[in-house]
Homo-oligomer: A and B are copies of this chain.
C-alpha cells in the first residue's frame, strides 16, 4: 500500500485513538484505576444520552447532581451576574461534567453547563453514585481522586492569574489546548482567561 498524503494516516490513527479513549471504562480509569467489580457497578448506572448544541445541560437555579462524561463534544461551565456571564471551565472528550457546588453541598449552585457542540454524553445518576460512595471503597477513592485533581487544576489557574499577564495566559492556553481555539468562540475564551473579548482581540493582533 502506498500513501502520498500521510495526514490521511494521521487522521485514521487519531480517530482510532479517540474512539478507544472515549469508552466509559477508559474515562473512569483515567481518573483512578478501578477494580473490575467496582467499575461494573459504576457502568451499571451509566446511560448514553445525546443533546444538541446550545442545550443547557445543568442549570444554576436547580439542584443538579447527576454527573456526565463526555463521549463526544465540548461544553462550557459559566456563571452569570446581571447581564454578563463568565466561562470558568471547558470540558471536552473524556472529561467529567457536574455542578460541583450542587453536587458537594446539595444546594443550588452557581454553574450552568452549556453544550457548545452537539454532544454524546454518558449520564450517571447522582443518587446512585452517592450510594456507591458509601458502599464501595474503591469508588469512594475514585471520587476523592477526581476532586483532588480538579482542585489542583483550579488552584493552578488561580495562581497563574497572578503571575502571568493576559497575553501569557493566552499563549499558555494556545500551547496546551490548541484545539480549543478552533472549537470555541473567542468571547468564551476571553472570559475563561479573565479578560474582555476586546482585550483578547488586541492580544491576538499583537501576536501575528
Which residues of A are at the interface with B, using a C-beta cutoff of 8 A? 79, 81, 84, 86, 88, 100-101, 103-105, 110, 133-137, 140-141, 143-145, 147-152, 154-159, 161-163, 191, 194
Find out whether the CB atom of A79 lies under 8 angstroms from the CB atom of B161.
no
Find out whether the CB atom of B104 lies under 8 angstroms from the CB atom of A148.
yes
Report if A88-B133 is in contact (Cβ < 8 Å); known contacts: A104-B149, A104-B152: no
| Chain B positions within 8 Å of A161 at CB level | 158, 161, 194
Closest residue to A78 on the B side, CB-wise? B159
* Least Cβ–Cβ distance between A144 and chain B, in angstroms: 4
| Chain B positions within 8 Å of A151 at CB level | 100, 104, 147, 150-151, 154
Find out whether the CB atom of A86 lies under 8 angstroms from the CB atom of B141.
no
Report if A158-B104 is in contact (Cβ < 8 Å); known contacts: A134-B141, A140-B144, A141-B140: no
Q: With A and B bound together, what is the CA distance between A101 and B161 in angstroms? A: 18
State the oligomeric state as a number of copies: 2
| Chain B positions within 8 Å of A163 at CB level | 79, 81, 84, 86
| Chain B positions within 8 Å of A156 at CB level | 101, 110
Q: 21 A-B residue contacts at CB 8 Å?
A: A79-B159, A84-B163, A86-B162, A86-B163, A88-B155, A88-B158, A101-B152, A101-B155, A103-B148, A104-B145, A110-B156, A110-B159, A133-B141, A134-B141, A136-B137, A141-B144, A144-B144, A147-B151, A151-B151, A154-B155, A158-B161
Closest residue to A157 on the B side, CB-wise? B158
Q: With A and B bound together, what is the CA distance between A159 and B158 in angstroms? A: 10
Closest residue to A86 on the B side, CB-wise? B162
* Least Cβ–Cβ distance between A62 and chain B, in angstroms: 17
Q: With A and B bound together, what is the CA distance between A18 and B10 in angstroms? A: 63
* Least Cβ–Cβ distance between A85 and chain B, in angstroms: 10
- A140 contacts which of B137, B152, B162 (Cβ < 8 Å)? B137
Q: With A and B bound together, what is the CA distance between A162 and B163 in angstroms? A: 16
Q: Chain B CB within 10 Å — which of A100, A110, A137, A162 has the most? A: A162
